[in-house]
Structure 1
Amino acid sequence: MTDAQISVTLSPVQRRHGAMVMLVITFLMWGGFFMVIPLLSLRYVDDLGWSAGAVGLVLAIRQLTQQGLTVFGGALADRFGAKELIVVGMLIRAISFSAMAVATTYPFLMISAILAALGGALFDSPSSAAMVALTRPEERNRYFAVLGIVRGLGMSLGPLVGAALLRVDFAFVALAAGGCFFVASGITFLLLPPVRVAAERSELLAGILMALRDRRFMAFNVLLMGYWFMWVQLTISLPLAARALAGTSDAVSWLYALNAGMSVLLQYPVVRLAERWLRPLPVLMFGIVLMALGLGSVVFAGAIGALLVSVALFSFGALLAAPGQQTVAADLANPAALGSYFGVSALALALGGGIGNYAGGALYSLGHDINFPALPWLVCLGVGIGSAAGLAALDRRLVRRAESGVRG
């Protein structure tokens, strides 16, 4: 969809208003999500004695289910609009997180996670497509940088509130997280304007097939799996390492406070500085390399202070990579079917994040079983460097293609 097509239905004031609403509900979504998900490993591994691999499998299935189904959420947004899907998806997520308050068996926890995935599948790509539709290309990278700050606030405050409520009972953590999504659904219903995320309505699978046949877009998403593999370690292996080194669950909130604090303070100025010298794709590559080095350096972390240094390096890379990956995805997407493109893009998170969740938990347990605790961190280092190298090769191809087009 071009800016001209959007302006037919939404005025500039409505666009700015809609973009602000998306920032507010993003804060609630990230706050609610990180209030409960990072504490699952502490609740079920440390408190109830489940294996880290078992909890990692729950997180992996949630990730795979959500991002796998997000393809259809994006296609539905192209056909019916984004607002309604976001509202329904958040209500389902609110119910699923609230159900975790009484999930004391493995099947119940798995069902709750799958229900959470269904809700996320409905609001994930419609939300991303709405953000693109509400912003102009020249302001998009800066908007995503501000979005990173908002996400950082949610990621910081969520675990702090969750850790405080965990001292009382995990049920309060789950209910508070569900409440965040319930409030977000109400704000969306009342305040978000009706955003069009496709130039015209089409058959349900038409946009999906268009994205799947787009070789440049699909190559980018395959390589982006490495980024998501590393990013999800915030929800599985890093919390376990923090608890082990510090001896207290409060260390998880320290980890997230550092990560989010850096995002809040540095995201916007660092991204503005980086975009003066580099295109979004090289910024993304540089961020991925720093994330990989941060995770790899956990090998040398013998105390919680050293782990926080590693997390700081990881977080600095992530605050560069996050807006970069969103901007590049938006640039490569066909405006005729933004919802479908962002739905297909979610497959990178589905596979990379799903594998990362399971591998993070499984490798963490395996490393301790075989007396080689460096195992998960060395694997993360290799995955990140490989992803950055692949993106560098893709960038060279895109630059050559652009230069050929200019000369032609």
Structure 2
Amino acid sequence: MKTSSTLRFALIAQCGCNIGFFAVMPLLAHVLATSHALSTSAIALVLSLRTFSQQGMFLIGGMLTDRFGARATLVCGFSLRIVGFLALGFSGTLPWLVLGALCTGIGAALFSPALQVLVSRAGANSARGTAGSFALFNMVGEIGTALGPLVALLLLPTGFALLATGCVLLFAVLAVVAWRVVPPHRTAPSGVRSGRSRPRFSRRFLAFTIFSAINLVGYNQLYLGLPVELHRIQAPGASIAWIFLGISLLSVACQLPLARLGRHLGPGPTLRTGFGLMTLGFGTLALAALSPVLEPWSYLPVGCMVLCFILGHLLVGPTILHLCSQGPEASRGARLGLQASVSGVAVLLTGLVLGPLLEHATHSGVLAALPWALLAVLALLSAAVITHTIPPVAASATAESQLSTTN
């Protein structure tokens, strides 16, 4: 199966972006505390600004991609990421660190929707389809996620500044290749161009973005809630690292087969199955948290939750991106950006609720089960409702695609 040059670039860039990000960001809090002697509140400010600037700006990044084209936003995004990494790697004062955090976040908000648009366009013209192309896109991203910490282990002994410099060179190469490989933006007539700056979203699509957000909300709990559960069952501190290694390996091994399954089932059954698996995983952990830890089975509920959630995540992730990419070409980036921004807001809002609950989840009982029960309810609600919110344009486009591939 042939792969277009733009799709190949999008896949390589996604892998490279994740290598650069996960080589630097997981170590940043430690470096800021030890090398720069920043307070916990200052570190929290830097990290929070990075996350907020990225997720909150996704819609803007998608709209800019629609207006100026993927090539321009990719180069601008990579350039901002370069400035951000330089500020984080070579500055020690809080204002410069805040600037670095903002530049890294906004840079990703520019290049991520642009890469998704490239994948969507290439997938629409391939036998793999958009859902299959997004699955491949997610899989190579997971490879980059796994390789990033290995790069950090190799370069960190030489100093954090050199590590940041290596990642700067990586993004510089990506910027140059993007300018050479990605086709330039085709200028539209002024009337069409002015309409691109004001994308309109139907209520049905807005509802879809809301109910699809539980996918990112649940994934965020692997970082926030899972360590609390491991503390409850008195697991060693290194357990979380092994779990995330297993998640990366599972994602790489299962993403493409599950994407083929999702293409066979269709978007509605795929979304119901995926969110149903998430419900099963969160529900299992909620029931386990009610009872005292039972040796040697203490890891079984955690393993069940992680397995069910990741399988559900691998099913619904490409399907959500595929459905968001369907519709008018002029607002494709805005639709993908809006979905990411709504998911980011959902993570923030649910975090405000789940954070205080998780503080009381370190000992078995109702309070320990409550956060996971709430997540199970949200996943069940998405499983029950989301198929009724699929935009008509996306549903008809998917049906036509499936019909054409079976004839």
Compute the TM-score of the two structures, normalised by the length of structure 2: 0.76
Q: What is the CA distance between 1:377 and its match in structure 2? A: 3.0
Native 8 Å contact 1:232 1:356 kept in 2: no
Native 8 Å contact 2:75 2:178 kept in 1: yes
Question: Hey, what does 1:4 align to over in structure 2?
Answer: none
Native 8 Å contact 2:210 2:343 kept in 1: no
> Which of the numbers 195, 198, 212 marks the counterpart of 1:209?
198
> Which of the numbers 294, 315, 324 marks the counterpart of 2:281?
294
Structural mapping, 1:374-389, within 5 Å: 374-389=369-384
**Take 1:134 and 1:240, find their aligned partners in 2: how far apart are those partners?**
41
Structural mapping, 1:232-381, within 5 Å: 232-238=220-226, 246-248=235-237, 251-276=239-264, 278-299=265-286, 300=288, 307-331=302-326, 333-356=327-350, 363-365=357-359, 367-368=361-362, 372-381=367-376
3-state DSSP class of the match of 1:79? helix
Larger deviation, residues 83-92 vs 19-28: 83-92
Q: What is the CA distance between 1:220 and its match in structure 2? A: 1.0
Structural mapping, 1:178-193, within 5 Å: 178-193=168-183
Native 8 Å contact 1:69 1:121 kept in 2: yes
Question: Hey, what does 2:113 align to over in structure 1?
Answer: 125
TM-superposition CA deviations, 1:183-218 (whole Å, max 9, x none)? 43233233333355x976667773353333x22222
Q: What is the CA distance between 1:343 and its match in structure 2? A: 2.8
Residue identity opposite 1:393 in structure 2: H
TM-superposition CA deviations, 1:310-347 (whole Å, max 9, x none)? 3222211111111111111122x322322233233332
Answering whether residue 216 of structure 2 is matched by residue 228 of structure 1, we say yes
Native 8 Å contact 1:38 1:239 kept in 2: no
Structural mapping, 1:108-119, within 5 Å: 110-119=98-107
Corresponding pairs, count? 382
The CA RMSD measured in Å over matched residues stands at 4.1
Q: Relative contact order, CA 8 A, sep 6+: which one is greater?
A: 1
Native 8 Å contact 1:149 1:267 kept in 2: yes
**Take 2:371 and 2:320, find their aligned partners in 1: how far apart are those partners?**
24
Mind listing any 5+ residue stretches in structure 2 that lack a counterpart?
401-407
**Take 1:65 and 1:393, find their aligned partners in 2: how far apart are those partners?**
31
**Take 2:354 and 2:176, find their aligned partners in 1: how far apart are those partners?**
35
Residue identity opposite 1:148 in structure 2: N
**Take 2:166 and 2:229, find their aligned partners in 1: how far apart are those partners?**
25
Percent identity reads: 27
Native 8 Å contact 2:214 2:343 kept in 1: no
Structural mapping, 1:135-174, within 5 Å: 135-136=123-124, 139-162=129-152
